[in-house]
Protein backbone atom coordinates (compact mmCIF):
# COMPACT_ATOMS: atom_id res chain seq x y z
CA UNK A 1 0.00 0.00 0.00
CA UNK A 2 1.22 3.50 -0.80
CA UNK A 3 1.04 5.95 2.08
CA UNK A 4 1.86 9.63 2.01
CA UNK A 5 5.50 8.70 2.61
CA UNK A 6 6.66 5.20 1.73
CA UNK A 7 5.32 2.08 0.11
CA UNK A 8 4.50 -0.20 3.00
CA UNK A 9 3.29 -3.60 4.09
CA UNK A 10 0.39 -3.58 6.53
CA UNK A 11 -1.06 -6.32 8.68
CA UNK A 12 -2.78 -6.82 12.00
CA UNK A 13 -0.41 -9.75 12.55
CA UNK A 14 2.87 -8.17 13.63
CA UNK A 15 4.69 -11.50 13.93
CA UNK A 16 3.93 -12.37 10.31
CA UNK A 17 5.04 -8.94 9.14
CA UNK A 18 8.38 -9.24 10.97
CA UNK A 19 8.97 -12.71 9.51
CA UNK A 20 8.19 -11.51 5.95
CA UNK A 21 10.84 -8.82 6.32
CA UNK A 22 13.41 -11.11 7.97
CA UNK A 23 13.37 -9.24 11.29
CA UNK A 24 13.44 -10.61 14.85
CA UNK A 25 9.96 -11.71 15.97
CA UNK A 26 9.97 -9.34 18.94
CA UNK A 27 11.05 -6.20 17.05
CA UNK A 28 8.44 -3.46 17.59
CA UNK A 29 6.43 -2.18 14.65
CA UNK A 30 4.79 1.13 13.91
CA UNK A 31 1.02 1.04 14.25
CA UNK A 32 -1.12 3.07 11.89
CA UNK A 33 -4.62 4.19 12.80
CA UNK A 34 -7.33 5.85 10.74
CA UNK A 35 -8.41 8.57 13.17
CA UNK A 36 -7.65 10.27 16.45
CA UNK A 37 -10.60 8.50 18.11
CA UNK A 38 -9.07 5.13 17.16
CA UNK A 39 -5.74 6.35 18.54
CA UNK A 40 -7.36 7.24 21.86
CA UNK A 41 -9.06 3.84 22.02
CA UNK A 42 -5.69 2.07 21.60
CA UNK A 43 -3.73 3.95 24.28
CA UNK A 44 -3.88 6.90 26.63
CA UNK A 45 -2.64 10.08 24.97
CA UNK A 46 -1.39 12.67 27.49
CA UNK A 47 -3.76 15.64 27.67
CA UNK A 48 -0.92 18.12 27.09
CA UNK A 49 0.02 16.38 23.81
CA UNK A 50 -3.38 15.94 22.17
CA UNK A 51 -3.59 19.19 20.20
CA UNK A 52 0.07 18.96 19.23
CA UNK A 53 -0.37 15.41 17.87
CA UNK A 54 -3.35 16.53 15.79
CA UNK A 55 -1.14 19.11 14.07
CA UNK A 56 1.65 16.68 13.17
CA UNK A 57 1.92 15.87 9.47
CA UNK A 58 3.78 12.80 8.19
CA UNK A 59 4.94 12.03 11.73
CA UNK A 60 4.96 8.89 13.88
CA UNK A 61 4.73 9.45 17.62
CA UNK A 62 6.50 7.15 20.10
CA UNK A 63 4.52 7.17 23.34
CA UNK A 64 5.79 6.63 26.89
CA UNK A 65 3.95 3.27 26.88
CA UNK A 66 6.56 1.97 24.40
CA UNK A 67 4.38 2.03 21.29
CA UNK A 68 4.82 4.09 18.12
CA UNK A 69 1.60 5.10 16.37
CA UNK A 70 0.94 7.17 13.28
CA UNK A 71 -2.43 8.68 12.42
CA UNK A 72 -3.15 8.50 8.69
CA UNK A 73 -5.42 11.18 7.29
CA UNK A 74 -7.33 11.74 4.09
CA UNK A 75 -7.03 9.44 1.10
CA UNK A 76 -4.21 7.44 2.72
CA UNK A 77 -6.49 6.35 5.58
CA UNK A 78 -9.33 5.10 3.35
CA UNK A 79 -7.86 1.65 2.58
CA UNK A 80 -7.56 0.99 6.34
CA UNK A 81 -11.01 2.20 7.37
CA UNK A 82 -12.43 -1.33 7.65
CA UNK A 83 -9.52 -2.41 9.85
CA UNK A 84 -9.21 0.90 11.78
CA UNK A 85 -5.59 0.02 12.68
CA UNK A 86 -2.73 -2.11 11.39
CA UNK A 87 0.98 -2.63 11.91
CA UNK A 88 3.03 -0.99 9.18
CA UNK A 89 6.54 -1.42 7.82
CA UNK A 90 8.28 -0.39 4.64
CA UNK A 91 7.86 -2.79 1.71
CA UNK A 92 11.44 -3.99 1.47
CA UNK A 93 13.53 -6.72 3.07
CA UNK A 94 15.30 -5.54 6.21
CA UNK A 95 18.30 -3.45 5.22
CA UNK A 96 17.36 -3.43 1.53
CA UNK A 97 15.89 -0.93 -0.89
CA UNK A 98 12.32 -0.97 -2.17
CA UNK A 99 11.79 -3.71 -4.73
CA UNK A 100 8.29 -3.78 -6.16
CA UNK A 101 8.50 -7.41 -7.34
CA UNK A 102 9.63 -8.53 -3.84
CA UNK A 103 6.84 -6.53 -2.21
CA UNK A 104 4.16 -7.96 -4.51
CA UNK A 105 5.44 -11.51 -3.90
CA UNK A 106 5.12 -11.04 -0.11
CA UNK A 107 1.64 -9.49 -0.17
CA UNK A 108 -1.67 -11.33 -0.12
CA UNK A 109 -3.28 -8.23 -1.60
CA UNK A 110 -1.81 -5.00 -2.87
CA UNK A 111 -3.49 -1.66 -3.37
CA UNK A 112 -2.22 0.11 -6.45
CA UNK A 113 -3.07 3.74 -7.14
CA UNK A 114 -3.35 4.91 -10.77
CA UNK A 115 0.03 6.66 -10.49
CA UNK A 116 1.66 3.46 -9.19
CA UNK A 117 4.06 3.05 -6.28
CA UNK A 118 6.55 5.79 -5.48
CA UNK A 119 8.80 5.32 -2.46
CA UNK A 120 9.57 8.61 -0.74
CA UNK A 121 11.22 9.72 2.48
CA UNK A 122 10.04 7.89 5.60
CA UNK A 123 7.91 9.67 8.18
CA UNK A 124 9.52 11.59 10.99
CA UNK A 125 9.47 9.89 14.40
CA UNK A 126 9.26 11.88 17.62
CA UNK A 127 9.19 10.56 21.18
CA UNK A 128 6.93 12.13 23.76
CA UNK A 129 8.81 12.70 26.97
CA UNK A 130 7.69 13.66 30.42
CA UNK A 131 6.70 17.25 31.03
CA UNK A 132 5.95 18.15 27.42
CA UNK A 133 9.33 17.30 25.96
CA UNK A 134 9.76 15.98 22.44
CA UNK A 135 12.80 14.18 21.11
CA UNK A 136 13.28 13.69 17.37
CA UNK A 137 14.29 10.09 16.63
CA UNK A 138 14.17 10.25 12.81
Establish if 2 belongs to a structural domain: no
In a domain, 3, yes or no: no
Domain that holds residue 114: 8-136
Name the helix (H) or strand (E) containing 38: helix 36-42
Distance CA 131, CA 4 (A): 30
Question: Is 108 contained in some domain?
Answer: yes
Angle at CA 120, nearest 5°, toward 108 and 125? Answer: 90
Q: What is the pLDDT tens value at each position of the chain, 138 positions in all?
A: 766 666 778 888 999 999 988 899 999 999 989 888 899 999 988 888 888 888 888 888 999 888 999 888 776 677 778 788 989 888 788 877 777 778 778 888 777 666 666 666 777 888 988 777 888 888
Nearest residue to 79 (alpha-carbon basis) of 124, 32, 38? 32
Cα 21 off chain centre by: 15
Residue 1 resides in a domain:
no
Q: Is 74 left (phi over 0), alpha (psi -120 to 50) or beta?
A: left
- What's the pTM value of the predicted model, to 2 decimals? 0.80
CATH classification of the domain holding 28: 3.90.870.10
- Number of compact structural domains in the chain: 1
Amino acid sequence: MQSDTTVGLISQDGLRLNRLKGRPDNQPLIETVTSFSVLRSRLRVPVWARSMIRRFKRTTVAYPQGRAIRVLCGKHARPLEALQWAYSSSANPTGGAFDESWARAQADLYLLRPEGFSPQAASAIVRLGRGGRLKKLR
